[in-house]
Amino acid sequence: MNPAAEAAIVEDVQGDNRWMCMHHTFVSESKEKEPDVLFIGDSLIRNLAITQEWERMFEPLHCLNFGIGGDQTQNVLWRIQNGELEGISPKVIVVLVGTNNYNHTAEQVAEGILKIVQLLNEKQSKAQVVVVGIPPRGQYPNPLRDKIARINANLQENLDHLPNAMFLNTDPALFINPQDGSISHHDMHDYLHLTDKGYQKLCEPLLEEVQNLLKTFVKVDGGN
């Protein structure tokens, strides 16, 4: 059994039930709103919603954001299985998850993400699923970067075999200094979570792909 591909809730170790409350909020939103684009994943998705990039790039496209900080692949699977997509019919679903699966191998994480895509195909057969490559992390080269590279390579190879799904590569060169392999705090303030500048690098190619899929073009003002 692959724990990264078996739906599971997040243990409420802090005792405030925030994760389940957010899930219930998303279920309610799915009954009240009609998004053309759904974003689902971990904090890299959640934090996007409070950036200038979200406001100027994605809000005009009628998007919903179902990201939860700390989520792993198995947690996103559980949320999808338990009502978060029941009341909506998005044309495009953007998935970014996997950086928090510390205890799983690259192969297990990739399998968990592929399982998410398969479930999305079952739940939303008319939607196009865009899996965003996991960005590199850590100020300097480290084993997690190597693991992320293996996850992304696996996804790039295997997503083509699934219907209505595509892999959008996150080029590590967008964030990594070729001279010393470092990531700047101007792109990732804690060398994991993206700044506005970092999100601009990540989201410009994503916006282009989403627009192409929607066949809708929004005028985006230049970033700072």
Report the relative pairing of strands 128-132 and 63-67 from DSSP bridges.
unpaired
Is 193 catalytic? The answer is: yes
Is 24 catalytic? The answer is: no
Q: DSSP string of the chain? A: --GGGS--PPP-TTSS-HHHHHHHHHHHHHHH---SEEEEESHHHHGGGGSHHIIIIIGGG-EEEEE-TT--HHHHHHHHHTTTTTT---SEEEEE--TT-TTS-HHHHHHHHHHHHHHHHHH-TTSEEEEEPPPP-SSS--HHHHHHHHHHHHHHHHGGGSTTEEEE---GGGTB-TTT--B-TTTBTTSSSB-HHHHHHHHHHHHHHHHHHHT-----PPP-
Q: How far apart are CA 152 and CA 158, in angstroms?
A: 10
Residues 113, 155 contacting (CB under 8 angstroms)? yes
The single residue of 12, 160, 171, 190 carrying the catalytic annotation is 190
Helix axes 18-32, 73-81, angle to 10 degrees: 50
The single residue of 24, 62, 189, 193 carrying the catalytic annotation is 193
The single residue of 30, 43, 71, 104 carrying the catalytic annotation is 43
Is 12 catalytic? The answer is: no
Catalytic center residues: 43, 190, 193
